[in-house]
């Protein structure tokens, strides 16, 4: 089974090829180019270096959101275009679920954070039990202060990852003290290989859709809508 996985839900553009339990190749960029400039060239490179003909692919996986609206749209369009042309399904993987997969050996809670602006982040809370991902709190968009308040109620060590961490690091540290852990930069961004790992599980369970039916998962800025603030 071969799955091409795409991650484009933030500034990161990443493409990986998964076959029968392992990543054959992965190309990653976090540079000043749009995903419309990078995702297809990265896809071409992944297929070329692994000598994979597109017809060999069984599915295309993509981080379905939340995240950057523009990034999600471009990644979704790339995945849908490839899958439609090859008549294969699309596997949508929640961005935050896949992001947490980089810490499968941790005993702490995992809290990915992507900047959603206006003091908000896209986030979720996770833990691993016997190397299996468990969702403590499903992905959402939330004010940083409300997220920290929620985490303090768990009274657990939490590993924070993502581009939403640095702007809020001082606030998190001040309010969570030793329960706040900040990972090194190499583990601090999303990866297509994490998307591929979960996508393989979804595919085995039949959790996929046609290219025509796939849509990204955008989360509304609910806190500001409720407060009456203008976007």
Q: Which of 117, 92, 52, 97 is nearest to 191 (CA)?
A: 97
CATH architecture of 2-95+190-218: 2-Layer Sandwich (3.30)
Residue 229 has pLDDT above 60, yes or no: no
Residue 228 has pLDDT above 60, yes or no: no
CATH label, 102-187, candidates 3.30.420.200, 3.10.150.10, 3.90.230.10, 3.90.700.10 = 3.30.420.200
Residue 230 has pLDDT above 60, yes or no: no
Domain ranges of the chain: 2-95+190-218, 102-187
- Outline where the chain has alpha helix (H): 35-49, 69-86, 95-100, 144-154, 169-176, 192-204, 222-227
* Average pLDDT over every residue of 143-164: 96
Question: How many angstroms separate the CA atoms of 147 and 131, rounded?
Answer: 25
- Going by pLDDT thresholds of 50, 70 and 90, the confidence category of residue 33 is confident
Question: Do 2-95+190-218 and 102-187 agree at the fold level?
Answer: yes
Query: What pLDDT is stored for residue 133 in this prediction?
Result: 97
* Average pLDDT over every residue of 53-79: 96
* Average pLDDT over every residue of 10-33: 94
Q: What are the pLDDT digits (tens) for 210-225?
A: 999 999 999 865 444 4
Element (H, E) at 26: strand 22-29
Query: What pLDDT is stored for residue 222 in this prediction?
Result: 43
Whole-structure pTM value: 0.91
* Average pLDDT over every residue of 101-113: 95
- Going by pLDDT thresholds of 50, 70 and 90, the confidence category of residue 184 is confident
């Amino acid at each position: 089974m071969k799955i091409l996985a795409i991650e484009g839900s933030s500034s990161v553009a990443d493409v990986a090829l998964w076959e029968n339990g392992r990543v054959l190749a992965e190309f990653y960029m976090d540079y000043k180019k749009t995903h419309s400039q990078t995702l297809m060239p990265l896809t071409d490179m992944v297929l070329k270096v692994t000598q994979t003909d597109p017809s060999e692919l069984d599915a295309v996986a993509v981080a379905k959101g939340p995240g950057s609206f523009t990034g999600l749209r471009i990644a979704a369009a790339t995945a849908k275009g490839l899958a439609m042309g090859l008549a294969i399904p699309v596997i949508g993987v929640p961005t935050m679920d896949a992001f947490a997969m980089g810490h499968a050996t941790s005993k702490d809670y995992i809290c990915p954070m992507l900047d959603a602006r206006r003091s908000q982040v896209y986030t979720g809370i996770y833990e691993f039990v016997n190397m299996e991902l468990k969702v403590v709190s499903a992905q959402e968009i939330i004010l940083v202060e409300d997220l920290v308040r929620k985490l303090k109620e768990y009274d657990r060590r939490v590993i924070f990852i993502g581009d939403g961490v640095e702007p809020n690091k001082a606030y998190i540290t001040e309010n969570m003290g030793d329960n706040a852990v900040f990972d090194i930069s190499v583990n601090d961004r999303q990866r297509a290989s994490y998307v591929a790992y979960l996508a393989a599980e979804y595919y085995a369970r039949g959790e996929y859709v046609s290219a025509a039916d796939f849509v990204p998962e955008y989360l509304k800025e609910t806190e500001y809508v409720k407060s009456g603030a203008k976007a």
